[in-house]
Amino acid sequence: MNALTQAPFTLRVHNPDVLTCIANLSNDEVFTPPEIANAMLDLVASRWADSHDGASIWTDPTVTFLDPFTKSGVFLREITRRLVDGLATQFPDRQERVDHILTRQVYGIGITRLTALLARRSVYCSKFANGPHSIVKSFTGEDGNIWFQRTEHTWTGGQREYRVDPMTGDEKVVYTHRKCTYCGASEDDYGRGGELETHAYAFIHTDDIKARIGELFGGTMQFDVIIGNPPYQLNDGGAGASAHPIYNKFVESAKSLDPRYLSLVIPARWYSGGKGLNEFRQEMLNDARLSVIHDYPNTNDVFPGLNVRGGIMYFLWERGRRGNVTVTNHMGDKEFSSVPRPLLEPGLDTFIRFSGAVDIISKVVRVETGQADILSFSESLSFADFVSPRQPFGLGTNFADFSRHPTADRKIELFRFGENGYISEQQLAENVDWVNEWKLFVPYASPGNDDYPHLVLSNPIVAGPGTACTETYLVVGPFASESECVNARSYMKTQLFRFLVLTLRSSQHVTQRVYRLVPKLDFSASWDDRSLYEKYQITEDQIGLINTLVKPVAWKN
């Protein structure tokens, strides 16, 4: 059997496809299933045909493709397979065709040494592009067009320290706890020896991405299609699993290369939240070249076995177009909505992921247009005005200076993660006047995974006078009486309330800002979904959408 009969473009006929069997190393660097890669390529091909009088992108021998963060090589493999079929007429000789495609049309950048070898094995049938088993006969170097070299972080800032050289006794200045100027990685976590990966990705560790690409592949490269699935985040040295996103930097670098088409898989939390994503979100939501969004609220629908909170999306960006974006919402194996609409609705600075939610929101929120779009409610206030920021009493989650039982000077019951304790008024740094009011303590973290229908909120606690909390909770209130407090809780229990919160929630954190689209009502009365649906004239179809996304709750008092 010759090498060509083992080419990656023939693997599709085998069952199972080896690239469906690879386990992800982490939630940060995720292997793309072939099904999603092919859906993205189908989307690019469809838009190419629309703008090229129906011509197939796979029959054009001049089109160039780049996966700048290749892992398994699935995108490059599937591109190659399609080109091998599409260019058969123009290059009848199979070997000549394969050599042309893989030396002049298909390019990749490995994110680690291991993934570069894996990608070459997927595409060239050899971990060395010029090896004896490679299906390409024109490469002289081992990398071929799937490049990888170890890249180092560029450390900056940090703390200045004076240390004595044990050999000379001389004092010298050193800097510790530095950050990478390109990706923000912590030197404490990523300042590694030569035996470990640095995770300093070449595509974002440069001041001039166009020049960098020229260095990697030679000459002036202009890619028609950039497609792939970038790394999502890096540990930032914070508490627990604290991390900061980096996928936004890959998107920005890819746009800087000015391809005709850009299609990437990234976490969806940028819609309305995410650490350090404010500028990125505003740039994306005001970019009229963003033409298609495929949205998956449940990560398992794209990456089985993973839970990237807030879900996953992939998009298509087209250099030569301007207009609305077609948003397709997926749930399980079904599309339950596909609608062309603006990225930003009037009065909002975040993206509403569920298209059907837009009409529901318009019934609850009124937009007044003038010098600026202003959200307003018939009740005049947003519920967010009634919700505290994090650390409502100035006490962190790790606060430990409490007594297990009340004492003469520690009488305030402290609600915290785990067993409650008791503290004194002097220990409170914020909002001391709330201690003796009626209020609700709402857990800062949402319950469960991103499965649907979703609970959205954890059970709010009715907290009377003499209580405070750590940042495990946010405070809703205060209220004039216990009955108003209980009625507010009944309102939060409704599916409509939690649906309006869900439209802005982008992660497991239920922050003050996600309540912005919820109106504050009169809490002298109790509220249920029936009365709210009647008040806002919510239709049966809209109730069906709410029931699809939001699970009824049976909170205990």
Give DSSP secondary structure letters for 80-142. Answer: HHHHHHHTTTT--SHHHHHHHHHHHTEEEEESSHHHHHHHHHHHHSSSSTTSTT-S-SS--SS
Indicate whether 389 and 293 sit together in one domain. Answer: no
Indicate whether 113 and 184 sit together in one domain. Answer: no
Instruction: Specify if 109 maps to a domain.
Output: yes
What integer pLDDT is reported at residue 367 of this predicted model? 60
| Mean pLDDT in consecutive groups of 10 residues from the start of the chain, 557 residues | 42 47 56 93 96 96 96 94 96 95 96 91 92 90 92 88 74 83 89 81 93 88 95 69 84 96 95 84 93 92 84 95 93 86 84 91 72 55 91 93 93 94 94 96 84 89 96 95 96 96 84 90 93 95 94 80
What integer pLDDT is reported at residue 28 of this predicted model? 56
Region class of 169: left (phi > 0), else alpha (psi between -120 and 50), else beta = left
Strand 155-156 to strand 179-180: parallel, antiparallel, or no bridges (unpaired)?
A: antiparallel
Indicate whether 132 and 28 sit together in one domain. Answer: yes
Q: How many domains does the chain divide into?
A: 3
Indicate whether 419 and 433 sit together in one domain. Answer: yes
Indicate whether 395 and 520 sit together in one domain. Answer: yes
Indicate whether 20 and 68 sit together in one domain. Answer: yes
What integer pLDDT is reported at residue 51 of this predicted model? 93
Q: Of 163, 183, 200, which residue sits at a domain end?
A: 200
Task: Tell me if 217 sits within 8 A of 205, measured CB to CB.
Answer: no
Indicate whether 125 and 185 sit together in one domain. Answer: no
Task: Tell me if 338 sits within 8 A of 328, measured CB to CB.
Answer: yes
Indicate whether 158 and 41 sit together in one domain. Answer: no
Indicate whether 134 and 169 sit together in one domain. Answer: no
Please tell me the distance from the alpha carbon of residue 219 to that of residue 224, in angstroms, as a whole number.
16
Which structural domain, as residue segments, surrounds residue 486? 383-549
Report which of 530, 547, 40, 506 is spatially closest to residue 336, judged by C-alpha positions. 547
Please tell me the distance from the alpha carbon of residue 369 to that of residue 348, in angstroms, as a whole number.
12
What is the value of pTM for the model shown?
Answer: 0.86
Indicate whether 261 and 123 sit together in one domain. Answer: yes
Q: Of 200, 224, 239, which residue sits at a domain end?
A: 200
